[in-house]
Chains A and B, each alone.
Chain A
Amino acid sequence: GAGVSQSPRYKVTKRGQDVALRCDPISGHVSLYWYRQALGQGPEFLTYFNYEAQQDKSGLPNDRFSAERPEGSISTLTIQRTEQRDSAMYRCASSLPRPGSTDTQYFGPGTRLTVL
């Protein structure tokens, strides 16, 4: 079946603009995660949803970053007033949690954000 999809794949924006990054998880997956990956580094956790509830946003760097998943499926990560340091690959993942186990997170292709 279809995997996790993200759009756009590439986004170039000017400093100060707002951007919205979209994630469409695997159908039926109730858990959704956002990570950010700088060049030469591993992904770093941003936030986590269980259905539509944002359970953990401890990784969001500041209040310019927000995420929502209003219907428990598609999620949007929004960055307001972008800064050059926001440039990175933003990755979304989803999983189908089972009681008592750590489930495999399936990652999308990512959105490469460049802030000029």
Chain B
Amino acid sequence: SQQGEEDPQALSIQEGENATMNCSYKTSINNLQWYRQNSGRGLVHLILIRSNEREKHSGRLRVTLDTSKKSSSLLITASRAADTASYFCATPNSGGSNYKLTFGKGTLLTVNP
């Protein structure tokens, strides 16, 4: 079963605008990761945020984590056409199988030039 659920399922914006995607999860986690999947390419790891962190930045990406609400958000600022992709949140299983990532269904982001 899916652990994370991204929201919205699809998002269309104009170049230069900011894009915000949300992820909700069900069980306790020790970290949450965001991946990007371009058409025809593999999954690319974007950022990892640990359970004791509330916010993390990487370039134009900003990730927040609220463990009390079991939710995370990914903000892409000043979007570009090249940001068009599907974005997935993923959480590792707890306990001894933390290598096993569980992905959500993803948010399809379209950035229009």
Report B-chain residues with C-beta under 8 Å of the C-beta of A44.
Answer: 103
Query: Is A106 among interface residues, defined by CB-CB distance under 8 A?
Result: yes
Given the known A-B contacts A48-B100, A102-B98, are A42 and B88 also in contact in the complex, defined by CB atoms under 8 Å? yes
Size class of the B contact interface (CB-based, 8 Å): 20 to 34
Residues of chain A in range 5-34 having any CB-CB distance to chain B below 8 Å: 31, 33
Q: Which residues in chain A, 88-113, are within 8 Å of chain B measured between CB atoms?
A: 91, 93, 95, 97, 102, 104-110
Number of A interface residues at 8 Å Cβ cutoff, please give it.
26
Q: How far is the CA of A22 from the CA of B2 in the complex (A)?
A: 26
Q: Please, which residue of chain A has its CB at the minimum distance from the CB of B29?
A: A102
Indicate if A62 sits at the interface (CB-CB under 8 A).
Answer: no
Contact A42 to B98, CB < 8 A, known contacts A102-B92, A108-B42: no
A43 → chain B, closest Cβ, in Å? Answer: 5
The 6 residue pairs across chains A and B that have the minimum distance between CB atoms: A42-B103, A107-B43, A107-B42, A109-B42, A45-B100, A104-B45
24 contacts between A and B (CB under 8 A): A4-B42, A31-B99, A33-B99, A35-B101, A40-B105, A43-B101, A43-B103, A45-B101, A45-B102, A56-B97, A97-B99, A102-B30, A102-B92, A102-B98, A102-B99, A104-B45, A105-B45, A105-B101, A106-B45, A107-B35, A107-B43, A107-B45, A109-B40, A109-B41
**Which residues of B are at the interface with A, using a C-beta cutoff of 8 A?**
2, 4, 30-31, 33, 35, 40-45, 48, 88, 90, 92, 97-106
Give A residues with C-beta under 8 Å from B.
Answer: 3-4, 31, 33, 35, 40-45, 48, 56, 59, 91, 93, 95, 97, 102, 104-110
